């Protein structure tokens, strides 16, 4: 639920605590920016979910929205009670070099503090096709691993076979992004199920859950697929 900085208080993010309350017992972790931790703290912990603090940001209002800047630190995330932190990198963009530098630096601080690091790796070189290109996504996953990430989040490549190649290109767990709001629940469930069959270790889904008319029911369905209780 880090989308508010990027695209503003869109539908589903106008009032975050009620949405979090609905899904907190169905998800492993909630990902937010530092300023929202206080709003959702009641739903974190033993009876809720864990906290991931997102460290980087940009806005859709920027001349270059793909350039992510660090907006907080690993140490501050620790003070907020985070169980992990995350960083967003857009490969192929004009700001790639600075984002790679930031990812490497954050990985070192995470290693020092014993803090797990999730790297959100996207290919944003100006071509829509590149964002789902298996060869480029394999490269993105490998960058995350080699710079010290513990988990990597990437786009699903569209098939079990091609995504298996992505999963097998690294030794760290691979999870998939949910992406823009999908046209049907069935399409989302099929993507999650196929990703799991390909070896994905989980999902990081935002808009498809928090913009759903029943976030709790949808999160529950996804949970059952991940736990092997519901076939795709």
Return the structure tokens found at 153: 């989040």
Which residue stretches of the chain are H helix? 3-7, 16-23, 37-40, 74-79, 96-113, 134-146, 160-168, 185-198, 207-210, 215-226
Q: Is 50 helix (H, G, I), strand (E, B) or coil?
A: strand
Judge whether 153 counts as a catalytic residue: yes
CA angle 163, 164, 170 (to 5 degrees): 100
List the catalytic residue out of 26, 136, 138, 153. 153
The CB density around residue 56, as the number of other CB atoms within 10 Å, is 23
Q: How far apart are CA 210 and CA 230, in angstroms?
A: 21
Tell me if residue 128 is catalytic: no
Nearest Cα to Cα of residue 100 among 32, 151, 53, 148: 148
Phi, psi for residue 38 in degrees, rounded to 5? -60, -30
* Residue 75 annotated in active site: no
91, two tokens: 């490969």
Q: Dihedral, CA atoms, 143, 141, 171, 232, nearest 10 degrees?
A: 170
With beta carbons less than 8 A apart as the criterion, state whether 176 and 212 touch. Answer: no
- Could you tell me if 134 and 157 are in contact, meaning their C-beta atoms sit under 8 angstroms apart? yes
Instruction: List the catalytic residue out of 26, 43, 122, 138.
Output: 122
Catalytic residue from among 2, 102, 133, 194: 2
Hey, which residues are catalytic here? 2, 122, 153
């Amino acid at each position: 639920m880090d989308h508010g900085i990027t695209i503003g208080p869109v539908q589903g993010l106008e009032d975050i605590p009620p949405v979090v309350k609905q899904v907190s017992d169905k998800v492993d972790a909630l990902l937010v920016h530092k300023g929202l931790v206080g709003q959702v703290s009641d739903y974190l912990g033993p009876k809720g979910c864990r906290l991931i603090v997102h460290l980087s940001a940009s806005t859709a209002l920027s001349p270059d929205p793909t350039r992510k800047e660090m907006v907080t630190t690993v140490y501050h995330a620790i003070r907020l009670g985070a169980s992990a932190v995350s960083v967003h990198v857009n490969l192929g963009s004009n700001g790639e070099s600075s984002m790679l530098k930031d990812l490497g630096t954050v990985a070192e601080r995470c290693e020092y503090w014993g803090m797990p690091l999730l790297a959100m790796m996207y290919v944003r070189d100006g071509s829509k096709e590149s964002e789902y290109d298996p060869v480029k996504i394999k490269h993105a996953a490998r960058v995350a691993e080699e710079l010290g990430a513990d988990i990597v989040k990437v786009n699903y490549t569209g098939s079990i076979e091609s995504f298996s190649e992505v999963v097998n290109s690294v030794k760290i767990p691979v999870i998939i992004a949910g992406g823009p709001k999908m046209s049907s629940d069935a399409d989302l469930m099929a993507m999650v199920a196929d990703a799991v069959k390909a070896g994905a270790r989980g999902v990081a889904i935002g808009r498809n859950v928090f913009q759903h008319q029943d976030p709790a029911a949808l999160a529950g369905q996804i949970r059952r697929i991940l736990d092997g209780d519901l076939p795709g």
